[in-house]
Amino acid sequence: MNAIYILWLREVKKYSRSRVQIIASLGQPLLYLLVLGFGLGPVFQRAGGGSYLQFMAPGIVGMAVLFTSVFSGIALLWDRQFGFLKETLVAPVPRINVMIGRTLGGATVAMLQGTLIMVVCLIAGFRPVSLIGIPLGFVFMAMIAIVFAALGTSIGSSLQDMQGFQLIMNFLVLPIFFLSGALFPLNNLPKALSFVTKLDPLSYGVDGLRAALTGSAHFGALLDAVVLAGVAVALLCLGAWRFSKIEI
């Protein structure tokens, strides 16, 4: 237990010390929010979709959580390169605890980042429909964070170095974001696209956030929660297994 806690704390401490990175990481979501939000807003409104900012804000929060959690998992590769990973791998602690500590730490950091983006959205004019929705929103944020931190850990444990990073970014993380319905509604899509979006775990995460914060959902909050919980368990198992196989 203590090992899980201290490794969790390490992630949180490192995040809180990286002020420059935190500010830099606000850039991309802000760009989406401002440029797409105000650029596509009028078209969206005319098409009968209501306020685009209102629609997109949960998606942008989901994006921030996705990126932060995947990268915190992949940061395992930095620990491998700088050598700290060895220190945790030979410690008299079951590797599963090491993996859980790291993953929960990464998920927590992702939630902090998501909260920050949420505040930015509020400043930009986003308004949640009800106050009760906010805690539920955090539940979904946590589930997204755990799912993708576990995915990041699985990937980080399976690669030797940062060489595969571009590949992962372009063929996994960005597609997960773009196919999730963060930027467009999931109804009335072409069949093929609609099928793929259903396979994307983030679709359920963004949908859950939207259900909680704006009251409108595509799949429904319950289905979202069930799918996310299932995927989280599966990816945590995968991550634990990959992590237990690491050799240095």
The rounded distance, in Å, linking the Cα atoms of 140 and 136 is 6
Single-letter code of the amino acid located at 68? T
The rounded distance, in Å, linking the Cα atoms of 117 and 109 is 13
CA angle 242, 96, 149 (to 5 degrees): 65
CB 14, min distance to other proteins, A: 5
Three-class SS of residue 143? helix
How far is it between the farthest Cα atoms of the chain?
Answer: 62
Q: Which is nearer to other proteins, 171 or 241 (CB)?
A: 241
Single-letter code of the amino acid located at 30? L
**Residue burial 101-120, b: 16+ Cβ < 10 Å; e: rest:** bbbbbbbbbbbbbbbbbbeb
CB 218, min distance to other proteins, A: 41
Q: Which is nearer to other proteins, 18 or 130 (CB)?
A: 18
CB 234, min distance to other proteins, A: 24
Q: Which residue has the tokens 């929103």?
A: 137
The rounded distance, in Å, linking the Cα atoms of 246 and 156 is 10
CB 90, min distance to other proteins, A: 5
CB 12, min distance to other proteins, A: 12
The rounded distance, in Å, linking the Cα atoms of 218 and 181 is 10
Q: Which is nearer to other proteins, 85 or 111 (CB)?
A: 85
CB 133, min distance to other proteins, A: 36
The rounded distance, in Å, linking the Cα atoms of 70 and 147 is 9
Q: Which is nearer to other proteins, 13 or 127 (CB)?
A: 13
Q: Which is nearer to other proteins, 83 or 135 (CB)?
A: 83
Three-class SS of residue 207? helix
Give the total residue count for the chain.
248
Q: Which is nearer to other proteins, 2 or 187 (CB)?
A: 2
Q: Which is nearer to other proteins, 90 or 123 (CB)?
A: 90
Binding site for other proteins (CB under 8 A): 2-3, 5-7, 10, 13-14, 17, 79, 82-84, 86-95, 247-248
CB 241, min distance to other proteins, A: 14
